[in-house]
Structure 1
Amino acid sequence: MAISFEKAFGIHPQTLRVRAQNAEVIASNIANADTPGYKAKGLDFQAAMSKAASRQTSAMSRTHEKHFDVKSQANSGTEYRVPNQPDTGDGNTVDVQMERNLYLENSMHYQASLQFMNGKIKSLKKAIGGGQG
């Protein structure tokens, strides 16, 4: 009987990709905290996960290496955030404390998915090795 990694891991590989993308958006906000006119961006996690899940079931595939990878070209779901602090005069909408908290929260969710996948890998290795792994 073949082992289906998609069934074993579920949505967690897609979750890791979206969490990594979210970390990049948040890090970009923090890096631009002192850039005049910079508008803080955010990732709609639910929308990004819906897109990831629909792409997983999509029948589209690349048939030639020079073709565009349509799956990776889709809109990322990144949008501008509504500022929660008054304008400081330079047009920048980044709240560094909020961004740091969001980064920490995102990191904890990322680690949780990694731990889940590590547990699944250990159980699969155990099943393959007949209880020796």
Structure 2
Amino acid sequence: MGMSFDKALGIHPEALKLRAERTRILASNLANENTPGYQARDMDFAASLQLAADGGHEAGEMMEASVQYRVPNHASQDGNTVELGVEQAEFAQNSSDFQTSLTFLNMKFRGLAKAISGQ
């Protein structure tokens, strides 16, 4: 009887990929805080994860479909839409969520290892 790692691990590997991509996007926003005309972006994580759960979509396809420009709370004169406080908060929350997904995945691996070893 075979075992499917995809079924055993659930959505967590895809969630980690999406969280890593969101980290890249948010880091890019932070790096371009002082770039005139830079438009801050973010991804709709829930929509991307739903596409991953539905299956049949490549990781790049899911991310491209859900990346959107962020609407600033306060407009700047140089056209830059990055708001440092907002980006830092989103980055911190995403890091925490990444760690949570990683913990769930780690627990799944430990459970599989115990099952394989017969414990």
Who is 1:127 aligned against? 115
State the partner residue of 2:68: 79
* Runs of 4+ in structure 1 over 4 Å off: none
Q: For the pair shown, which has the larger CA radius of gyration, 1 or 2?
A: 1
Q: Which residue of 2 aligns with 1:104?
A: 92
Q: Which residue of 1 aligns with 2:105?
A: 117
Paired with 2:72 and 2:85, the residues of 1 have a C-alpha distance of 13
Bigger proportion of residues as helix: 2
Shift of 1:99: 0.5
Query: Counterpart amino acid of 2:113?
Result: K
Report the Cα distance in structure 2 between the residues aligned to 1:72 and 1:82, rounded to whole angstroms. 25
Per-residue CA deviations over 1:50-107 (Å, capped at 9, x if unaligned) read: 22223x3x2xxxxxxxxxxx8255262211011112x231111101111111011001
Q: After the TM superposition, which of the residue ranges 26-35 and 73-82 deviates more from structure 2?
A: 73-82
Looking at structure 1, the residues matched to 88 and 3 of structure 2 have their Cα atoms a distance apart, in angstroms, of: 40
Equivalent residue letter for 1:79:
Q
Cα gap change, 1:111/1:72 in structure 2, threshold over 3 Å: closer, same or farther? closer
Residue number in structure 2 paired with 1:65: none
Query: Scaled by the length of structure 2, what TM-score is found?
Result: 0.89
TM normalised by structure 1 equals: 0.81
Q: Alpha carbon RMSD of aligned pairs, Å?
A: 1.6
Identity of aligned residues (%): 44
Extract unaligned runs of 5+ from structure 2: none
* Counterpart-to-counterpart distance in 2, 1:127 and 1:48: 31
Aligned pair count reads 117
Q: Give the secondary-structure state (helix, strand or coil) at the position aligned to 1:27.
A: helix
Q: What is aligned with 1:8?
A: 8
Task: Give 3-state SS (helix, strand or coil) of 1:2's partner.
Answer: coil
